[in-house]
Amino acid sequence: MKKRDTVLLLGIFSIIILITIQVVIITGVWREKDEMFNLRYRVFSQDALSNMSRKWSTDGFDTARLLISRYSEKAGKEISALKDDSAIARKKRDVLYFVTHVLDKEQDLSQFLSDYFEKQGIEKNFNNKIVINYFELIKGDTTIPIYVNRAFAERRMLTKENEPPRRLKPKRISEIFVKGDRSEDNFYRLDFEYFIDFTDKRHVILRETAAYLSMSIFSILVVVALFLVTYKNLMEEKRLSNLKTDFINNMTHELKTPLSTITVAGKTLEMAQIREDEAKVLETAKMIGKQSIHLNQLINMILEISMWERTQFQIDKKKVNIEELMNDIVTSFRTGCNNCSSITEKYNFSSHDIDIDVVYFTTLMNNLLSNAVKYSDRDPEIKIDGSVENGKFIISVADNGIGISRNDQKRIFDKFYRASTGNIHKYKGLGLGLYYVKKIAEAHGGDVSVTSKPGKGSIFTVTIPY
């Protein structure tokens, strides 16, 4: 696995662990808050209940019990008179519905609790819930079972003879048990429980845990951001180190070619039969001269760039006629190039003079022209255009070469950058030519841009203000 992938995997793994830990912590905090909430309301409810019985000598269900008792007397008689099983079952359902309804609606406990909570300054809006454990009608010596809560019945079976069956646990965790009641008179026997349930509980807890939540989300975001920055830096470092390696390889290759030509030429000159042929000597000497110039140019380019890194780019501007300068540059480029039959020029500079460093500008143009020739796999056709627009000289060099992919277009002006096809030694170079072009254009207050289509060609446009 690549180092980059390992770092990425490790980072993602650590972030997942961090998020898991945060989720566990938050869930813990949430549960604790939830329990605290329930406990608080349980305590306040018990307080309210004892307050109620002290003040009003009631638990709030007296009216309900009276209504149930009256209804039970009547219902007991009615059921005893029924013979049909399904009619009996229907009546029992009606009785249960009535009892639940009365317990729910004809009680004062909910109102009292709500007022009490309000006085305490805590959330007062809740729903109440009645759970009937069992209900039976009594008619003389007989009892008519109406309903037994299954869970309650199971518990009753598990408890000992004289012990009352244990209370039901609230079904939903948000329900809070307030009161259980067992009552009995001549006409009925009833056991029920009263719960309260806060619909807004989630919001209350969310409000209380907001600080924890936002802190943990913030810490996760910080860690993710740090990871992304570190990863990006690592990638950038890797890219630079790759560029450096490529540059060293390319430079070695670039320097070795003229050097080996010079070595071979030197060896050739040592041969007696060559020395006798004056034309051959002259040709070899010329070759040595040409390669030395090339070597010198390469070394100068590298030295100059390293000097730019340390000092400000110094240019020495002079007013020149731009059209004449362009003609000179292109003519001498044509002379030194043996594959440049088709270079066309079209200028419309309206006889403006340009304030420019002639040496650097010549290098800029030469770099663009030699790239136009170099990055072509057919006979190069180069078109040079020059015009003046909005206070700027606009010079473009268009070729019919291999073109540059969209991705590479963003990078080609970077130092040492070579498009991937350039790195295989088919096209020689150091990845410095366009960096040079950009630096020179910028030093003149201008810029350079590229438009290109792979396989079709490229257009480099230099703008320099006058």
Residues found near ligand ADP in the complex (CB under 6 A): 367, 371-372, 375, 399, 401-404, 412, 417-419, 422, 429-435, 458
Q: How far is the CB of 400 from ligand ADP (least distance, A)?
A: 10
Our CB check for ligand ADP shows the closer of 130 and 382 to be 382
Our CB check for ligand ADP shows the closer of 118 and 379 to be 379
Total Cβ atoms within 10 A of residue 362: 17
Our CB check for ligand ADP shows the closer of 192 and 417 to be 417
Run of H or E including 223: helix 201-270
Total Cβ atoms within 10 A of residue 441: 22
Angle at alpha carbon of residue 293, lines to 289 and 296, rounded to 5°: 135
Our CB check for ligand ADP shows the closer of 29 and 298 to be 298
Q: How far is the CB of 280 from ligand ADP (least distance, A)?
A: 33
Our CB check for ligand ADP shows the closer of 258 and 433 to be 433
Q: How far apart are CA 276 and CA 273, in angstroms?
A: 5
Q: How far is the CB of 256 from ligand ADP (least distance, A)?
A: 16
Q: How far apart are CA 208 and CA 123, in angstroms?
A: 13
Our CB check for ligand ADP shows the closer of 275 and 425 to be 425
Identify whether the C-beta of residue 396 lies closer than 8 Å to the C-beta of residue 385: yes
Q: How far apart are CA 406 and CA 463, in angstroms?
A: 21
Q: How far is the CB of 308 from ligand ADP (least distance, A)?
A: 15
Q: How far is the CB of 8 from ligand ADP (least distance, A)?
A: 29
Q: How far is the CB of 291 from ligand ADP (least distance, A)?
A: 18
- Give me the residue label for tokens 């961090």: 18
Q: Which residues make beta-bridge pairs with 453?
A: 457
Our CB check for ligand ADP shows the closer of 70 and 256 to be 256
- Non-local CB neighbours of 368 within 8 Å, separated by 6+ positions: 397, 437, 460, 462
Whether the CA torsion 107, 111, 113, 114 is positive or negative: it is positive
Q: What six digits make up the tokens of 420?
A: 């991937």
Q: How far is the CB of 428 from ligand ADP (least distance, A)?
A: 7
Q: Which residue's CB comes closest to ligand ADP? A: 429
